[in-house]
Chains A and B, each alone.
Chain A
Amino acid sequence: MSPEPTNTLPSEESTGERNNTSAVTAVDKVARRVRVQPARGAKNPRSKVEAWTLGLAGLLLMAALPLLNLSIPGILPTPTYQPGSLQLLAMCMLMAAAALSYHLLIGVAGLLSFGHALYFGAGSYGLAIILNNFGLPLLPAMGLTLVVALVLSTFTGMVALRVTGIPFAMVSLAFAQAGSVLVRRNPGGATGGEEGVSPDTAGIPDFLIGVANTRNLYWLSLLTLLIVIVVVTWVQSSRAGHVAAAVRENELRVRVLGLQPYWAKLLIFVVAGVLAAAVGMVFVLLQSGTVPRQVSADFTITLLVMVVLGGVGSKWGAVIGGVLYTLLDQRLSAFANSSAVESLPAILHVPLSEPLFILGALFVLVVLFMPGGLTGAVRRLRERLSANSVAKRN
């Protein structure tokens, strides 16, 4: 891995009181808050080999899960070879991949988008609609969907990126809202309104249909996550990725250097959009259908919560956040319906039986007390431990 841009963190206090009304400063702020970790492996070849071995072992384990009989009570509903767990794990990986595509926007380019669900929805709805109406086989249909997503994200990105910071957030939200309204309106009966739409099984190969084939969908999800990780890593370490990260740090300085922030940001925006659409396509196969919630602002906010939980600016943080959120959401729903919660007095029972309340509150606490999310906390812990051991040795 090539070294990622390391930015030293000017202390927040020293900035003191300053005029923060301009949008650029807001972006600047997120930039300053986001600490991009230097790639540890780059300095030490041995730890690089270790990281690769660990990653490969993890990948093999994930790939082998459908063939193993492992039970993790409290986290997975069934042993790992059964469809229930495979479905949940596949969903975790897809959400991790979606969060990773969102990480490109907020973590790399510092773009706070509230409209990312639009592209996820373009993938899921696009594939279902193309399969239902054009009678194409799966692969050409997927290709066509990606082209649609590419065009959509390019056009919306070109308009939205005319502004930066908070106004950008609002504009991206407005575009996604248009998509959400369109989907709910059910134009020509294509999107199925509130009911959502299921893809026609005629175009989908048999090995991707039915509960018995959940393991194939699981492997497809794993492959999707892998591809998204590779693409994100590649984009992040490409020239455009560096420019976008530099724009996040200081747009003016990039301009002065004669580079064009707009195109770098647009490229990142489009890549993130197309990746989200790709994840959306696998999602619609896994769920054998999609509903308007997948295009709504709620879904973007879900992605945002995942990324922030894991730690803004950290690639693996986004993955961990996606997995953790999906597991929590699923487990909290089960917890909400459990008899232990039912028997509580109303004042405890009402909040605890709402998974979104717990997740929302958790999110607020993380933002307030755990800057850098989970990966940030782990890093601080590790730094403290190594500092302690150094102190002891001396």
Chain B
Amino acid sequence: MSTLILLLITGVGLGALYFLVASGLSLIYGLMGVLNFAHGAFLTLGAFVSWEMSRRIGEGTWLTFIITLVIGAAVGGVFAALTEFALIRPLYNRHIEQVLVTVGLSLAAVAIFEGVWGTDSQYTKGPEWFTRTTDVLGAQVPNDRFVTIIVAALVLLGVVLFLKKTRYGMIIRAGVENRSMVTALGIDVRKAFTLVFTIGGAAAGIGGVLASHYFGYVSPALGGSLLIFAFIVTVIGGLGSLAGAAIASVVVGVLQQITNFYWGMGDFVVIVLLAVVLLTKPTGLMGKTA
């Protein structure tokens, strides 16, 4: 029983990381029809810059951790906004080329990370509390799992509030639903594009910092490995649906952890789940009906 609880919480923690990547992917795809392969690079850059900063200002304190979260978000957001502005915008409405450009960017970015920080993993150190465990119904759960889950939940809450309560949030939601209508009403959707990229990049940057604590290291391949599961999550959840992404992240994370522990087949089960979802409901759990 205690093992199951540990697996559940760890799975939700992993799901939280997936969600931080998938939320941006899903919003970007929903609004712009772009599959962003560079999303992993946003995450990795956020993780690396935060790691560098935490070494400069002193590892292992809560203050440093919070600062690195902010830095991760800022770095990811700025990188994403620049990407949208310089690479995506000139290819406006040409979806395949936009995908290709992000593929090229992710190749180049990972190569640069390897050049600057090396191909080896760099080990991270969080506040001392992270290394301890908390007793949950008899299960000893590492504390960093809770931090990951809480931060991801806060991000979800923040994004939902932004989408529901602000004018730009409304434009984004309307754009996901029917972009031509929004344009016809005389609203410049392109600002919303940059905004969506920035939000997605910031979420990915935060995800990078959290992932570096969750896994205990940063490496140039960190973003790419999370990105593939985030893709799967977005397809299962339904492209363009934030709620779908959140639910699918948790389902995928927990399923992966549990099957990995008992049968060592976590990644396959996720792919089988993907196949089953596609065969029964090609639009995903909460996707629009095509």
Contact = CB atoms under 8 A, between A and B. Distances in A.
Interface of A: 12, 15, 17-23, 25-26, 29-30, 33, 112, 159, 162-163, 165-167, 169-171, 173-175, 177-178, 181-182, 185, 297, 301, 304-305, 308, 350-351, 353-357, 359-361, 363-364, 367-368, 371
B232 interface: yes
A60 to B, nearest CB: 36
B107 A26 contact: no
Interface stretch (B5-13, B29-37, B135-143): B29-37
Given A19-B178, A175-B271, A301-B103, A170 B108 contact: no
Given A20-B33, A354-B112, A159 B105 contact: no
A368 B100 CA distance: 10
List 3 A-B pairs, minimum CB-CB distance, nearest first: A360-B108, A360-B107, A357-B111
Given A19-B178, A21-B30, A368-B87, A304 B290 contact: no
B271 A178 contact: yes
A307 to B, nearest CB: 10
Given A166-B33, A350-B115, A363 B267 contact: no
Contacts of A368: 87, 90-91, 101
B103 A29 contact: no
Nearest to B96: A30
Interface string B216-249: 0000000010001001101100011000000000
B114 A23 contact: no
Which of the listed residues A19, A159, A167, A353 has the most CB atoms from chain B within 10 Å of its own CB? A167
A162 B290 contact: no
B96 A33 contact: yes
Interface of B: 29-30, 33, 35, 87, 90-91, 93-97, 99-101, 103-112, 114-116, 176, 178-180, 183, 224, 228, 231-232, 234-235, 239-240, 264, 267-268, 271, 274-275, 278-279, 282, 288, 290
Contacts of A359: 107-108
Contacts of A167: 235, 239, 282
A186 to B, nearest CB: 12
A297 B40 CA distance: 13
A112 B108 CA distance: 21
B223 to A, nearest CB: 13
B123 to A, nearest CB: 20
B99 A354 contact: no
Contact of A26 (B96, B176, B231): B96
A361 B282 CA distance: 35
Contacts of B93: 12, 15, 17, 20, 29
Which of the listed residues B93, B96, B116, B239 has the most CB atoms from chain A within 10 Å of its own CB? B96
A181 to B, nearest CB: 5
Contacts of A30: 95-96
A169 B35 contact: yes
A12 B179 contact: no
B97 A360 contact: no
A11 B261 CA distance: 55
Given A350-B115, A371-B97, 4 more contacts: A15-B93, A25-B95, A29-B93, A368-B91
A13 to B, nearest CB: 10
Contacts of A21: 30, 33, 176, 178-179, 240, 288
A361 B108 contact: yes
B35 A166 contact: yes
A359 B278 CA distance: 35
A174 B87 CA distance: 26
Contact of A170 (B30, B35, B279): B35
Given A29-B96, A166-B95, A167-B239, A363 B278 contact: no
Contact of A177 (B91, B95, B228): B228
Contacts of B235: 167, 170-171, 174
A25 B180 CA distance: 14
A385 to B, nearest CB: 27
B240 A178 contact: no
A350 B176 CA distance: 40
Contacts of A162: 278-279, 282
A363 B100 contact: yes
Given A21-B240, A166-B33, A363 B103 contact: yes
A363 B107 contact: yes
B274 A174 contact: yes
Contacts of A181: 267-268
Contacts of B35: 166, 169-170
Which of the listed residues A18, A175, A356 has the most CB atoms from chain B within 10 Å of its own CB? A356
A112 B99 CA distance: 10
23 contacts: A17-B180, A19-B180, A29-B94, A29-B96, A166-B239, A167-B235, A167-B282, A169-B35, A170-B231, A170-B232, A171-B235, A173-B228, A174-B235, A177-B271, A178-B267, A297-B228, A301-B107, A304-B100, A308-B100, A354-B112, A354-B115, A361-B104, A363-B103
Nearest to B287: A167
Given A26-B95, A33-B96, A350-B115, A17 B107 contact: no
Which of the listed residues B94, B107, B278, B282 has the most CB atoms from chain A within 10 Å of its own CB? B107
Nearest to B95: A26
Contact of A363 (B94, B95, B104, B178): B104
